[in-house]
Amino acid sequence: AAVVAADLADMAAVGDMIGRAEAALGPVTLLVNNASLFMDDTVQDVDWLAWDRHFAVHVKAPALLAQEFARALPEGQEGLIVNMIDQRVWRPTPQYFSYALSKSTLWTQTQIMAQALAPRIRVNAIGPGPTLKSARQEDSDFAAQVDGLILK
């Protein structure tokens, strides 16, 4: 096992992550884009620096990593990319505006990449429900959300 870390808002740092992973592990055939940023904003109070960071971490970095992953995948091998999205893609709310928009964009990106990289590389997304209660959420609201989940 190896840890390959980078600031995912820094595309120069992101660009060599696959190469560093290969140097530590050998050929990389699985990429899981699980990193996330979750900052509270609304359409009325968008922090544009936070907006840019959300889109860098949730959209640009996964796109660049997928591109480098596809380039590096050895001939004759198949690969898999898994993008972690969020239930807010299907159940949008006005809170966490930049987060929800960037995760929704990642969902669209997943679908496009699945078509573009098939059949050699499968691209899928997982959109779990709530895993932690938000700071503004009552216990009863969180419990109701969890009760609405198919998988528990």
pLDDT digits (tens, 9 = 90+) for 87-118: 889 888 888 999 999 999 999 999 999 999 99
| Within a domain: 2 | no
Residue 110: closest CA among 127, 92, 99, 124: 124
Residue 104 placed within a domain: yes
* Bridging pattern class, strands 121-126 and 30-33: unpaired
Q: What is the CATH number of the domain that holds 47?
A: 3.40.50.720
The residue segments making up the domain with residue 82 are 11-147
In a domain, 105, yes or no: yes
Rounded to whole angstroms, what are the CA distances from 70 to 13, 20, 145? Answer: 18, 15, 37
- How much is the mean pLDDT over the chain? 92
Calculate the CA 103 to chain-centre distance.
Answer: 7
Q: What is the DSSP letter of 81?
A: E
Query: Does 59 map to a domain?
Result: yes
96 catalytic? Reply is: no
- Is residue 2 predicted with pLDDT exceeding 90? no
Using the predicted structure, report yes or no on whether residue 47 has a pLDDT greater than 70.
yes
Phi and psi torsions of 69, nearest 5°: -60, -45
Instruction: Specify the pLDDT at position 138.
Output: 86
Catalytic residue among 60, 99, 133, 152: 99
Cβ 103 vs Cβ 85: under 8 Å: yes
Residue 24 within any structural domain of the chain: yes
Domain total of the chain: 1
Do you know the residue count of the chain? 152
- Report the C-alpha gap between 7 and 131 in whole angstroms: 24
Among 60, 96, 103, 152, the one annotated catalytic? 103
33-36 contact pairs (CB < 8 A, 24+): 33/61, 33/62, 33/65, 33/66, 33/81, 33/82, 33/83, 33/84, 33/106, 34/84, 35/8, 35/61, 36/84
User: Domain for residue 152, yes or no?
Assistant: no
Taking each continuous run of H as one helix and of E as one strand, the counts in the chain are: 6, 3
Does residue 69 sit within a domain? Answer: yes
Whether 152 sits among the annotated catalytic residues: the reply is no
- Indicate if the pLDDT at residue 86 is higher than 80: yes
Please check whether residue 5 lies inside any domain of the structure: no
pLDDT > 90? residue 151: no
